Amino acid sequence: MACASVKAHVLPQPADAFFCNTAMVELPLVMQTAAVRYRVRPMQLDDIQQVMEVERESFPTAWPQTAFRHELQQNRLGRYLIAEECSYPSQEGPPPEAQSPSTGAETGPLRRFLGNLRHLLARDMQRDHPPRGGHPSLVVGFIGVWLLPDEAHIVTVAVRGSHRRCGIGEMLLIAAIQMAQESGQSLITLECRVSNTAAVSLYEKYGFQQAGLRTRYYSNNNEDAYILTVSPVTSQRYRDEFQRLGEEHRHRWGDYELIQ
């Protein structure tokens, strides 16, 4: 498990949602102040730069920037969502010390020490993931869906390497399935490399099953693709199971904002 085990008694989200894949430190209560919160929202043109970073580290053959532009501007059937880490520290924001509530017990050298430590941690986060274009948020993943006449087709999904295994891929898939349900699509399909056990496991968790194989589908290494489908996602039975999985996800990883 790559996620840190920072205990966050002062925060609404469970501990696992914090500082995924970063230094694993048990901090004193007074340090537990960085309210990391994820939001899923439609991708915009000025997200593309960060989306490309995630894309490049996720796929051997990345889509060019123009492809994302085209999808957002020209493809009426395309729906692209990003997951962002909203409380990502901003260079324009108040100094880290000012963001942290005080217990009132910090005085003298302890106060200075904690202030310095907060500052160093925030500076490290900024160095590892500098804010882009004035955005205080970090794009940590994205998903693309084509709402075709008779099916919803998931064309892409990826999570930033530093944020994998923290429930973000699942959060994006939940949002995509919900989008399909709301637009009345009962069938969801996708292709996935046969070697991609992480993705296959994610899809199987949400009821996808192998419906076929596209041989030598991927041009970079001639790998086969599974055709995975789930249907009918609009049935009450599926909705019940989907709701259970969604609640389990929120319980495990914390609440997030979903804007579609």
Ligand X SMILES: CC(C)(COP(=O)(O)OP(=O)(O)OC[C@H]1O[C@@H](n2cnc3c(N)ncnc32)[C@H](O)[C@@H]1OP(=O)(O)O)[C@@H](O)C(=O)NCCC(=O)NCCS
User: Would you name the residues annotated as active-site residues?
Assistant: 191, 203
Distance of CA 51 to the CA centre of its chain: 11
Fill in the DSSP letter of residue 58.
H
Site map (CB under 6 A) of ligand X, residues 49-68, x = contact: ---------x----------
In the complex with ligand X, which residue's Cβ is closer, 16 or 122? 16
Options 72-80, 122-130, 154-162, 212-220: segment touching ligand X (CB under 6 A)? 154-162
Name residues contacting ligand X, limited to 180-199 (CB under 6 A): 192, 196-199
In the complex with ligand X, which residue's Cβ is closer, 96 or 144? 144
Tell me which of 4, 159, 188, 233 binds ligand X, using CB under 6 A: 159
Alpha-helix runs per DSSP H in the chain: 48-58, 65-73, 96-99, 108-128, 168-182, 197-205, 236-253
Interaction between residue 219 and ligand X (CB under 6 A): no
Q: How far is the CB of 92 from ligand X (least distance, A)?
A: 29
Tell me how crowded residue 42 is: count the other CB atoms within 10 A of its CB: 12
In the complex with ligand X, which residue's Cβ is closer, 152 or 159? 159
Strands 257-258 and 38-42: parallel
Q: One-letter amino acid identity for 96? A: P
Tell me which of 74, 201, 215, 220 binds ligand X, using CB under 6 A: 201
CA 83, 85, 87: angle at the middle one, nearest 5?
150
Q: Residue 209: name the closest of 182, 238, 185 by CA.
A: 238
CA distance 60 to 38: 27
Options 26-34, 61-69, 106-114, 151-159: segment touching ligand X (CB under 6 A)? 151-159
Q: Provide the binding-site residues for ligand X, judged by CB under 6 A.
A: 58, 157-159, 164-170, 192, 196-199, 201-202, 205
